[in-house]
Structures are given as structure tokens and as C-alpha cells.
Amino acid sequence: MSPQNKIWTTTVVLGTAVLLAIWPLPGTMALRNLLLLTGLFAAIPIIRSRSGLLLAKGAWPVYVLFAFFLWLIVHFTFFAGILTEQTHELLGEWPRNLLAGVLGLGLGLSLNDGRLYVQRSRGLETVLIMGFAGTALIFCGRYAYEIYRTGHWLHHNFFMTPYLGKTPLVIFGSIFLPLMFIKILDALKGQESWRWYLYGALGTTFTLCMFYFGNTKNGFAIFALLFGYLLFCTVRQLVGTTLQPKRSGIGIAVVLLSALAFGYAGKKHIESNSA
């Protein structure tokens, strides 16, 4: 990979990670637009250099995705209802989505580069995971500051600070959780360092705290479904393969502790939100 392509790739990855971390934060529109434009200029050279992949049969989802933006124009031209509002959307929200789509395509093509995977996968992966973790980390950091500011440990219905609603907590937490569970399972299989037991447990704990103090029923429901599937995969892995005693013991301990923590948090959540 040429030095110039490395610069473009680094820019795309960093821009994506920062966007993932700050996207739901109020008051970040200017920074988001700047990152989207920067990501666009960095993604175009990557897409051009990897354009051969877009000619393969397996690339059809890319064309379906971007054909949606053409349909928006057709819909606006022939089927528009409230013209003023739809014009605002067409010139405001949807261009940002288009820029995000181009940035995502550049990121996907970068990660698809085998040379890049061999040379820099660990660093890129860490940066992206930190981006996915951004919402949970920001929420928990703000909650810690609230404890420091007030001297009280419990602050229920904390979702209005700093995100002004529950939706960002549920969406970004539900995207981040599978990453943590996948890493825990990879550590159990020996495909990742044992440290991912710790990192995965921390990421899961941050997300669970965000769901609990955000008082979100949907978040807890999604957590329960994902965690149940994690337990199923863990048991299947422990029963179906021969693992090192130390690795399997750590895996069992992490899962049991996580189950206890989830059970306790779920009990408290039901007490504070009977619905």
C-alpha cells in the first residue's frame, strides 16, 4: 500500500470512529458536517483504487444502497406531499446520509484490502471499536461527573443528559454490544487475546449501566436477547470443542459474573420501571 493510500485510509477510519462517537450528541452538527466532507475527499481515492471490486457480482448491495438516493429524487419529483418539508429534508438530511454512505463504502473497501488487514488490522480495529463505544463512554463519563457534582450515586431517568432522549442510547448501545460479545467468543475460541474477556466485560458493563440509568425498556429487552444468544454460543463452544482449561475456566467465570450482574441490574430496573 502506498503512503498516500495509507493517509487516506487513516483519515477514513479516524473520521468514521469520531462520527460514530459523536453522532447522537446535540450541538455537534458543524463537526459532523466537517467530518463527513473530510471523509468524502478521503474515501474517493480509496474507491477509485479499489473500483475493481465494485464490478464483481457480489457488489450488488452497493448499487441497491445508492439507488435509494435516486429514488428519493424520483419520489420528490412525482410524489411529494408537503413540498416545503420534503425540500428541507432533500437538501438537508439526505445529502448527509449520502456522504455517510460514500464514507462507509470507502471504509468497507479499506477493510477489504488484504494487505491492509495484515499490516494494520489491530490498530484500525481498536480505533473503530472505540468509536462504537463512544456513546456508552460519554454517557457513563457524564454520569460519573453528575455523581461528583451532586454527591449522590443514583440518578434515574438520566437519559436527558447528555443525549436529550433514549433513542441514541438504545441504537448505539445495541450496535456496540454485539461487538463486545463477538470479541468475548473469539477469546474463548483462542482467536483473540484473553484481555478481551476484560475489555468485553467492561464494554458490556458500560452499556448495561447506560441502559439502566437511561431507564430504557427496549435497551434491556435487546440486551436480554443478545446476552441469551451469547450464553447459547458459549455453552455450545465449551461443549463442542476442546479448550485449554485456563481459557475455558476464564470464559465460564466471565459469563457467570456477567449473568449475575445482568440479573441484578434487571431486578433493579424492574423495580424502578414496572412496565
pLDDT digits (tens, 9 = 90+) for 232-257: 888 787 776 655 555 566 667 766 77
Q: How far apart are CA 258 and CA 226, in angstroms?
A: 12
In a domain, 103, yes or no: yes
Calpha distance 50→96 (Å, rounded): 23
Mean pLDDT, all residues of the chain? 85
End-to-end CA distance of the chain: 54
What is the rounded average pLDDT of the residues 105-127? 73
The C-alpha cell of 254 is what?
A: 466471565
Residue 15 reports pLDDT greater than 70: yes
Is the same domain home to 118 and 190? no
Average pLDDT estimate for 85-98: 88
Tell me the pTM.
0.82
Looking at 73, 91, 124, the residue that finishes a domain is 124
139 and 235 share one domain: yes
What is the residue range of 17's domain?
A: 3-124
Q: Are residues 236 and 171 in the same domain?
A: yes
Whether residues 108 and 147 fall in one domain: no
Question: Same domain for 94 and 165?
Answer: no
Q: Could you tell me if 98 and 151 lie in one domain?
A: no
Range of weakest confidence among 44-58, 108-122, 141-155, 199-213 = 108-122
As a whole number, mean pLDDT of residues 98-113 equals 90
pLDDT band at 118 (very low <50, low <70, confident <90, very high): very low
d(CA 219, CA 215): 8
Higher-scoring residue by pLDDT: 193, 270: 193
Q: Supply 112's cell numbers.
A: 477489504
Please give the share of the chain, as a percent, with pLDDT higher than 70: 88
Query: In terms of domains, do 50 and 176 share one?
Result: no
- The count of structural domains within the chain is 2
Residues 105 and 153 in one domain: no
Same domain, 11 and 44: yes
Domain annotation covers residue 214: yes
What local confidence, expressed as pLDDT, does residue 157 receive? 72
Same structural domain for residues 97 and 61? yes
In the block, which residue shows the cell 474515501? Answer: 43
| Domain end position, chosen among 124, 146, 181 | 124
Residues 151 and 265 grouped into a single domain:
yes
Q: Which of 124, 144, 161 is the last residue of a domain?
A: 124
* Residue 79 falls inside a structural domain: yes
Least confident range of 65-79, 111-125, 166-180 = 111-125
